[in-house]
Amino acid sequence: MIYITRRERFSAAHRLFNPSLTDEENETIYGPCANPNWHGHNYILWVTIRGEINPDTGYVVDLKLMSRIIRDKVIVKLDHKNINVEVVFMKGQFISTENLAMGIWKELKPSMTDLGIELHSVKLQETENNSVEYFGN
Amino acid sequence: MIYITRRERFSAAHRLFNPSLTDEENETIYGPCANPNWHGHNYILWVTIRGEINPDTGYVVDLKLMSRIIRDKVIVKLDHKNINVEVVFMKGQFISTENLAMGIWKELKPSMTDLGIELHSVKLQETENNSVEYFGN
Amino acid sequence: MIYITRRERFSAAHRLFNPSLTDEENETIYGPCANPNWHGHNYILWVTIRGEINPDTGYVVDLKLMSRIIRDKVIVKLDHKNINVEVVFMKGQFISTENLAMGIWKELKPSMTDLGIELHSVKLQETENNSVEYFGN
Amino acid sequence: MIYITRRERFSAAHRLFNPSLTDEENETIYGPCANPNWHGHNYILWVTIRGEINPDTGYVVDLKLMSRIIRDKVIVKLDHKNINVEVVFMKGQFISTENLAMGIWKELKPSMTDLGIELHSVKLQETENNSVEYFGN
Amino acid sequence: MIYITRRERFSAAHRLFNPSLTDEENETIYGPCANPNWHGHNYILWVTIRGEINPDTGYVVDLKLMSRIIRDKVIVKLDHKNINVEVVFMKGQFISTENLAMGIWKELKPSMTDLGIELHSVKLQETENNSVEYFGN
Amino acid sequence: MIYITRRERFSAAHRLFNPSLTDEENETIYGPCANPNWHGHNYILWVTIRGEINPDTGYVVDLKLMSRIIRDKVIVKLDHKNINVEVVFMKGQFISTENLAMGIWKELKPSMTDLGIELHSVKLQETENNSVEYFGN
């Protein structure tokens, strides 16, 4: 069993707010992250899978394939987008880094499973000081 | 003469578009950067000043003072903001990294001059692959 | 269950030595790290907590609160200090990166527990080549 | 129990290919990584060990000793080498990052065990986007 | 006048040797870099151009275009190649980082000039400790 | 003419203070940097030289030689030292990053000149946010 990590990046806008609260209440909870005019980040995403090495190739998985799945299922939906407004798989959720990492996990999991790849973790960095990691449960 | 560089960071939303063009025309020119719903970045800013070392302190300038000027004049106006909508000193401009670096220079220059500090350059990184630097002319 | 990591930094002086040994014996064991005149580092600290996402906010924990605890309990006591001489929570210990990571864990744990936050790990980097991680037991 | 990580680096040439296949078949599987004229990387290696802190020194292990073992057993055999042609411990294997991480583990394990050091993981980065980690089983 | 920098990367094999000298003589001059079996690196390339901001777009140059030129003229010729054997524009030269940076400049200059872009510098990093920069004369 | 940069590192203790002032006055000027018990940093040093490429080797200068000069003249004197107390070439000076960069220049210049190497700049980073660069006048 060995672990393989692929790094990808996307730049997106978002805000943190609870639609049932006023702007003032949202700012009390979320501070500048609640700005109604949005702000944004360069997110860095590390997807880790695990598995046995295929004795016919030396690979657990072809990283070009793994990268393509991540791009098709996640990056094209997030990159240069407004996550609150345009990202279907995040609809109706608070766009925290926590929820976004879980949403990315759910987008990736079925395609990975179909290809016999075991998804291990999704790590998401919002700024150089803040990141989250999700292991699926 | 010695050069002193201070790094600061801000996260903001923006889009690139020409208001006299259609959305389609803007997307032809700017690609996904024209997204009407905005996107965003973690910008990294390096401000470089130059001067003689003060023989009474060993400093060209107190970096805490230099950092405070950058924060007051630039970072608080940009961080967690929508640059197109909320940043007065960028009003009516295309929010390219080029124009933003020049705008930051113009915001910093008078305060630096008042304190006898010679501003040398403003370097601004939009993504790990793209950056610009402006030397004032 | 999701994991949240906050990065903080501090710059401090220290030395490694056993007060019951001679300078020569200390240098044999610790090499240049035993220098009686001290040396220092820019330490990088990553604190990881874990928990369920609060459905009312989308957060496991407010990162501003988590950052404040780390600063109040750890960073202000260590930053620009001599760890051997001035840091009460390290008194009487060898100031190795290992012991320092454990000491930081012990400083953080009660405040985190009081707030219902589960501390997961403390990772401490002394140089770009050397780091340690402690999980509490 | 605490975890200690030492970073080391090496630059090497390699290619990925199956000697029982044609060049065309290899390029189908491995793409440009199959180039018969070789290509190369700056590999970054993180070796993590774990153990109890020695109460007489404050160390789990002397990092200079740990670094020396990694250099003697791994780095001198890989650095500025052609991994396919010159590295005895990788003979007859596909030179994937996965296999290389496992090979490095096997080279390090006996020396670490002899010194009472428990090897925890070998992490190997081939490019800034691709890395693998092996925990010994 | 503002300066725009685009970062690109390539991984390649090379060796340093003088074909009119023996292997022993080459090793005396170039050390392990002369290894006849090759070694390799992850090179990082920063290309800087300079110019006036186009008032109709806010750009000095479309970075997607600039990136495409760098990829077409340089990266596809170098990435996953053996620079000594396969790179036409380096034929007959010592494959030092110095010569490679100059070769990259010469490859880029005509296309940049054709597009009215003024090439300012080519910076090339071979390892995290070693880099060169060339300004065209 | 091409520019070659070598990166080296050292970890050291220092403090900023004026011996003719009281501790209180020093803390007013230098803040926590004046701590009489010292603090320290992981300094990063980039030394840049420039010259013509030697047509017999492809090198401006052998980087191993350049690294050895930097280590002999600068790093061994600074690494794991107290700069205020133990570094002869900084005696009687304020140990600011500015003065240290100039001191390093003066240590390197004669050896470089003796070898026909033209020193171009000394860049010194004290923290990830603060750095200085000196070009010799």
In whole angstroms, what is the distance from residue C34 CA to residue C16 CA? 5
pLDDT at residue E122 in the model: 98
| Chain E neighbors of F59, CB-CB under 8 A | 94, 96, 98
Summarize pLDDT for E18-50 with one digit per residue, the tens: 999 999 999 999 999 999 999 999 999 999 999
pLDDT at residue B54 in the model: 96
Summarize pLDDT for B6-24 with one digit per residue, the tens: 999 999 999 999 999 999 9
The two tokens of residue F47 are 């030394």
In whole angstroms, what is the distance from residue C103 CA to residue C91 CA? 10
Subunits next to F (3 or more Cβ pairs <8 Å) are B, C, E
Phi then psi for residue D69, to 5 deg, are: -60, -45
pLDDT at residue A45 in the model: 98
Point out the residues of chain C with pLDDT beneath 70: none
Q: Which of F98, F124, F133 is the best substitution to test chain B (most B C-beta atoms within 10 A)?
A: F98
pLDDT at residue B122 in the model: 98
In whole angstroms, what is the distance from residue F7 CA to residue E124 CA? 14
Cβ of residue F19 closer than 8 Å to a chain B Cβ: no
| Chain C neighbors of F17, CB-CB under 8 A | none
Q: How far apart are the first and last CA of chain F?
A: 20
Q: Which residues contact C61 (CB under 8 A, 6 or more apart)?
A: C4, C49, C51, C115, C117
Helices within D1-136 (DSSP H only): 23-30, 63-70, 76-78, 83-86, 97-114
Residue A38's nearest CA partner among C57, B80, B15, B74 is B80
Judge contact between C75 and C8, C-beta under 8 A: yes
Cβ of residue C52 closer than 8 Å to a chain A Cβ: no
In whole angstroms, what is the distance from residue E131 CA to residue C105 CA? 40
| Residue A80 CA, distance from chain mean position | 14
Per-residue pLDDT in tens (0 to 9) along chain D, 137 residues: 999 999 999 999 999 999 999 999 999 999 999 999 999 999 999 999 999 999 999 999 999 999 999 999 999 999 999 999 999 999 999 999 999 999 999 999 999 999 999 999 999 999 999 999 999 98
Q: Which residue in chain F is spatially nearest to E90 when comparing CA positions?
A: F58
Q: Which residues contact E102 (CB under 8 A, 6 or more apart)?
A: E122, E134, F2, F53
Catalytic option among C25, C27, C52, C80: C80
> Nearest 10 degrees: CA dihedral of A103, A105, A109, A115?
130
Judge contact between F66 and E130, C-beta under 8 A: no
Q: Return the amino acid letter for F41.
A: H
Cβ atoms within 10 Å, residue A101: 25
Judge contact between C129 and D8, C-beta under 8 A: yes
pLDDT at residue F50 in the model: 98
Summarize pLDDT for E62-106 with one digit per residue, the tens: 999 999 999 999 999 999 999 999 999 999 999 999 999 999 999
Q: What is the ipTM of this complex?
A: 0.96
Instruction: Establish whether B107 is a catalytic residue.
Output: no
The mean predicted confidence, pLDDT, of chain A is 97
Residue E110's nearest CA partner among E73, E78, E79 is E73
Burial class, B92, CB count within 10 angstroms (exposed 0-12 / middle 13-18 / buried 19+): exposed
Q: How far is F37 from chain B (nearest CA, A)?
A: 19
pLDDT at residue E128 in the model: 98
In whole angstroms, what is the distance from residue B119 CA to residue B85 CA? 28
Instruction: Establish whether C80 is a catalytic residue.
Output: yes
Share of chain E above pLDDT 90, in %: 99
| Chain B neighbors of F105, CB-CB under 8 A | none
Summarize pLDDT for A39-71 with one digit per residue, the tens: 999 999 999 999 999 999 999 999 999 999 999
Instruction: Establish whether C33 is a catalytic residue.
Output: yes
Which residues sit opposite F119 in a β-bridge?
Answer: F49
Summarize pLDDT for B82-113 with one digit per residue, the tens: 999 999 999 999 999 999 999 999 999 999 99
Summarize pLDDT for A70-96 with one digit per residue, the tens: 999 999 999 999 999 999 999 999 999
Subunits next to B (3 or more Cβ pairs <8 Å) are A, E, F
Closest partner residue to A79 among B14, B32, B86, by Cβ? B32
Catalytic residues of F: 33, 80, 126
Dump the DSSP string for chain D. Answer: -EEEEEEEEEEEEE----TTS-HHHHHHHHGGGG-TT-EEEEEEEEEEEEEPPPTTTS-SS-HHHHHHHHIIIIIHHHTTEEHHHH-GGGTTS---HHHHHHHHHHHHHHHHHHTT-EEEEEEEEEETTEEEEE---
Pick the CATH number of E2-134 from 3.90.1150.10, 3.30.479.10, 3.40.1010.20, 3.40.640.10: 3.30.479.10
Over the range D61-87, which residues count as b (16 or more CB within 10 Å of their CB) and which as e? bebeebbebbeebbbebbbbbbbbbbb
Q: Inter-chain contact C5–A130, Cβ cutoff 8 Å?
A: yes
DSSP 3-state of D86: helix
Q: Which residue in chain C is spatially nearest to F79 when comparing CA positions?
A: C39
In angstroms and rounded to an integer, the radius of gyration of the C-alpha atoms of chain C is: 17
Subunits next to D (3 or more Cβ pairs <8 Å) are A, C, E
Q: How far is B17 from chain F (nearest CA, A)?
A: 33
The two tokens of residue B34 are 């024209």
pLDDT at residue F12 in the model: 98
Judge contact between A73 and A111, C-beta under 8 A: yes
Cβ atoms within 10 Å, residue F18: 15
pLDDT at residue B132 in the model: 98
Which residue in this structure is represented by tokens 């990162």?
C63
Judge contact between D7 and C128, C-beta under 8 A: yes
The two tokens of residue A61 are 């998985």
Share of chain C above pLDDT 90, in %: 99
Judge contact between A132 and A95, C-beta under 8 A: no
Catalytic option among D8, D14, D107, D126: D126
The two tokens of residue F39 are 């603090």
Cβ of residue D86 closer than 8 Å to a chain E Cβ: yes
pLDDT at residue F14 in the model: 98
In angstroms and rounded to an integer, the radius of gyration of the C-alpha atoms of chain F is: 17
pLDDT at residue A23 in the model: 93
Cβ of residue E120 closer than 8 Å to a chain B Cβ: no
Cβ atoms within 10 Å, residue A119: 18
F125 band by pLDDT with thresholds 50, 70 and 90 = very high
Q: Do chains B and C touch (3 or more CB pairs under 8 A)?
A: no
| Chain B neighbors of F129, CB-CB under 8 A | 6-8, 67
What sign for the dihedral angle of Cα A105, A111, A114, A117?
negative
Q: Which residue in chain F is spatially nearest to B9 when comparing CA positions?
A: F129
The two tokens of residue C23 are 């300078």
